[in-house]
Each structure stands twice: as structure tokens, then as C-alpha cells.
Structure 1
């Protein structure tokens, strides 16, 4: 790869990573091309050397934001080797996760947009949901484990979304803590694979 091709690839990746962070924090409608390119240290005119359109960039950024969550979820589940479900719950419903939407789970930010979007975006969102459900259910085919995984994921995403949306910081903390406690009481650690 030539020097200029390597620079072009690095520039494209930089714009894509910035856009992925922006769609997590602002959703898919707000990030503008000019602002993204400026933040990446590039000119607005260079955008079309990297992406076919704004929609192309946003679709790729959303897919990247969703996919980056998989590794984080797996690491969270492996934090507590004796109780991986509890490790995942504690990490996901941590104040640090709530306070860092730019690097947090994209399911929270992109859910409403996926519901209103075209099939490719919905498919990318669904792929991530199914991946998380498989992780939570322990990759098993057990119907009860799948139902428990759906409940757990829904509670995690919902609690994080609500905790970010309320004005009172103490109430936000209370939401995270109460949902974490209830999820740990409710779900069996037995459904999780050994780490």
C-alpha cells in the first residue's frame, strides 16, 4: 500500500470512528458532514473521496458503533468468572457507562432510529441484539435461557436509557442500582457458560 493510500485509509477510519462516537451521543440525524470532517482534521470537500453519501457514512458508523459493543459485552461477562451474568450487569449498569455515551452501548442510542429506518439498518441492529442475547443465554438453545436473556437485555438497555434521560442525578443512580439488584436476584447464573 502506497503512502497516499495508507493516509487515505487512515483518514477514512478516523472519520468513521468519529462518526460512530457521534451517532452514539447524538443519534443518526444530527452529525453533519462539515463538523465530522473538521473534527477529523480534513476538509469538507474530501468527504466524497471516502464515502458515497452522508447516509453511507452514517450507516457504516452505526454498524461500527453497534459491532464495537460485542467485545465490551464479552469482557464484562468475563470480569466475574464465578458469576459472569453479575459481572455483565454491574459493568453495563455502571455510572461510568451511563456517563460515557460516546463509547457506550449503541443499542441504547440507536434503538429508536433503527425502528424508523430501512431494512439494512434494522438488520444491523437486530444482528447486534441477537449477538447479545446469545451471549447472555450462554449460546444455548434452551427456551427459558433465551427468554431470560431477552428480559435481561431489555432491562439493561431500558435502565441505561432512562438513567441518561432523567434530570435528577440521584434518581438516575437509583435506577441503575435498583435494576442491577433486581436483575441479579431474578436471573440464574446457571444459564451462563463457564469462563
Structure 2
């Protein structure tokens, strides 16, 4: 790859990473092309050298944001070798995760947008949901029984819902309580292998 092609690829990656962070913080409708390009240190006019349209950028950035979350969840599960499910729950339902949406789980941020989105967005979202369900099931020993799958769905739904609500409420005590209570309940009722 020549220098100009490498520079173009680097610029494109920078725009994608910035857009992925911004859509986790603000959703899909907020960041404009001009402000994303400016934040990347590029001109608005150069946008179409990298992407076919704003929708193209948003779809690719959403897929990147979703994929980033899966590796973070896997790392959290593997931090606690004795109790990987506990590690995953503690990391996901933490004040740190709540307070840093730009680097947090895009399943929370993009749920409503994916539900209204095109097939490409829904497929990227579904891929991550399936990946998270598989990871949660693995923390139960990898059993693929109906019971383990149902518990993984309940666990993921509770974690995503608690994080979403903890970010949305105005009362900091209620926000903390949502995270702590759901985490405690999920850890009290482990997935049955």
C-alpha cells in the first residue's frame, strides 16, 4: 500500500473510531458529518473519499462500536477466573461503565436506533446480542441447554436495562441503586449449567 493509500486508510479509521465513540455518547442522529470530520482533523469536503454517505458512516461506526463491546465483555469475564460471570456482571454494572458511555456498550445506546434501522444495522446489533449471549452462557460452563440460554437472555436483558436506566435517571442514588441491586440479584441467581 502506497503512502497516500496508507494515509487515507488511517484517516478513514480515525473518522470511524470518532464516530463510534460519538454515537455511543449521543446516538445515531446527533453527530454531524462536518463535526466528525473536524474532530478527526479533516475537511468536510474529504468525507466522500472515505464513505458513500452519512448513513454508510453511521452503519460502519455502529458495527465497530458494537464489536468493541464484545471484546470488553470477554475481558471482564476472564478477569475473575474463579467466577467469570461475577466478573462480567461487576464490570458491566459498574459506575465506571455507566459514566463512560463513549467507550461503553453500544447495545445500550443503539437499541432503539437498531430497532428502527435498516437490515444492516439490525444484523450488526443481532450479531453482538448473540455474541453476548454466547459469552454469558460460556460463563456457566458452555452448556447450550434451553435453561442456560434462557438465563443468559435474562442476564443480558437485566444488565442492559439496568445500565440504560442508571444513565437516564436524574437521581444519583437511584442510579447507583439500579446498578447495585440488579448486580446483586444476578449474582445471587447464577446461570445453571
TM-score range, shorter chain: over 0.9
1:145 to 133, 148, 172: 148
Task: String of CA shifts for 1:41-100, please: whole Å, max 9, x gaps.
Answer: 000000000000000000000000001111101111111111100000000001000000
CA RMSD, Structure 1 to Structure 2 (Å): 0.9
- Which residue in the other structure is 1:94 paired with? 94
- The runs of at least 4 aligned residues of structure 1 exceeding 4 Å deviation read none
On the 8 A contact 1:134/1:140 being kept in 2, the answer is: no
Task: String of CA shifts for 1:81-126, please: whole Å, max 9, x gaps.
Answer: 1110000000000100000000000000000001111111111101
- Give the TM-score of the pair, scaled to structure 2: 0.96
Matches for 1:1-195 after TM superposition, within 5 Å: 1-138=1-138, 139-188=142-191, 191=193
**Partner Cα distance (1:121, 1:38) in 2:** 25
Q: Which runs of 5+ in 2 are unaligned?
A: none
Report how far residue 170 of structure 1 moved.
Answer: 1.4
Question: More displaced, 104-113 or 166-175?
Answer: 166-175
Aligned length: 190
- Give the TM-score of the pair, scaled to structure 1: 0.95
**Partner Cα distance (2:189, 2:170) in 1:** 28
Question: More displaced, 115-124 or 34-43?
Answer: 115-124
